Structure 1
Amino acid sequence: MAQRAGSRPSTTAKIPHSQTNQQPADAHFLTQVLDEAASWPDVVQGASGISVEGARALSLADGVAGGLPEAFMVGREFCHGHAQGDYSLHMTLPLELVDAIDASGWIEPHFLVLTGQLPRTHVMVYAPRDGQEVAVVTGLVRASYEFARGLAQA
């Protein structure tokens, strides 16, 4: 995985877990990522069952076989894009990817992972800031989707 440009953004260590700087001007790039993922088979886009008001979630459709419980945040939700001026995402990723992607500067563990309240599969993906970052983040959402589908193991 290519290294993310620049330093890591600042984030909070409280609910809601948010990215506090290095944000794009608006939700345009995040919308591109979420709209692309919503076009994939068996993905339903809707309101998040766990995030802030206005957050857009990606979930597996009902009746579709899914992966392990660690592949989901709540219900069948495997990813959500934030709202209210924070354009980062939360998602689940298989452990085989987490360390390498973290080392490349694209993600950090959800702060509740550090307290043992969530499995290590739960991560924050920093907000995409340009078209190249949209492609990388879309690839990460694809990995989360495949994990939710049971195509990758924790």
Structure 2
Amino acid sequence: MTVDLAAPPPRPGPRPLTTGREIPHDQLDQFSPPEIRAALVKEAQALPGVFTGPSQVSEPSSLALRLTEPAGPWEAFLHPSRDEFGHIHRVGFLHLTLPIELIGPLEAAGWVEPHPISRRPEWPDTIVMLYAPRGEAELTLATAALHASWLQATNKE
């Protein structure tokens, strides 16, 4: 199944509770089952040029998604890192950068919310929280968003 991130389907149910404009920016309910998070990690690790490890910009228990050869623009990365384009938290939600034109449709459909740090002028406005996928259909969308983030960070079409 392919997902059009520019016109995504609505996310089922209410949005999860989050810390909103607070940092750290956390999702507080509606977590991923362990097997869904494991599948998301596997998808991330299968992307060419991606290596994982502790995040450089978040809690050490989150799994950083880093590039061996970052080539994307400044707004494709979670600063101050120059190669981390996202990370997956223990409960399954992601912080990642997305192409700016996808953020509005994904937010309107209930899949993402802007990271509070992106409201500061010295940070890119492309940083979002992608809510934890709760099942296979949501994993499909999360994987598509992850791929869009990777494309931006690698500067590939």
**Structure 1 and Structure 2 fold alike (TM over 0.5):** yes
Is structure 2 residue 107 aligned with structure 1 residue 109? no
Gaps of 5+ in 1: none
Contact 1:110–1:122 under 8 Å retained in 2: yes
Contact 1:34–1:81 under 8 Å retained in 2: yes
> How many residues were matched structurally?
147
Is structure 2 residue 154 aligned with structure 1 residue 146? no
- Given candidates 16, 33, 54, the residue that maps to 2:24 is 16
CA–CA distance in structure 2, aligned partners of residues 41 and 20 of structure 1: 32
CA–CA distance in structure 2, aligned partners of residues 80 and 65 of structure 1: 15
Is structure 2 residue 37 aligned with structure 1 residue 30? yes
TM-score (norm 2): 0.86
Offset of residue 53 of structure 1: 2.4
Contact 2:23–2:116 under 8 Å retained in 1: no
- Given candidates 31, 39, 49, the residue that maps to 1:42 is 49
**SS of the residue 1:100 aligns to:** helix
Gaps of 5+ in 2: 1-7
Contact 1:59–1:76 under 8 Å retained in 2: yes
Offset of residue 22 of structure 1: 1.4
Contact 2:70–2:83 under 8 Å retained in 1: no
Offset of residue 21 of structure 1: 1.3
Tell which deviates more after alignment, 45-54 or 134-143: 45-54
The alpha-carbon distance between structure 1 residues 114 and 46, as it changes in their structure 2 partners (threshold 3 A), is same
CA RMSD across the alignment: 1.5
| Residue 77 (structure 1) aligns with | 84
TM-score (norm 1): 0.88
**SS of the residue 1:21 aligns to:** coil
> Cα deviation per residue 1:14-62 (whole Å; 9 max; x = unaligned)?
22210011123x432122112112112111111111111211111111x
CA–CA distance in structure 2, aligned partners of residues 115 and 65 of structure 1: 24
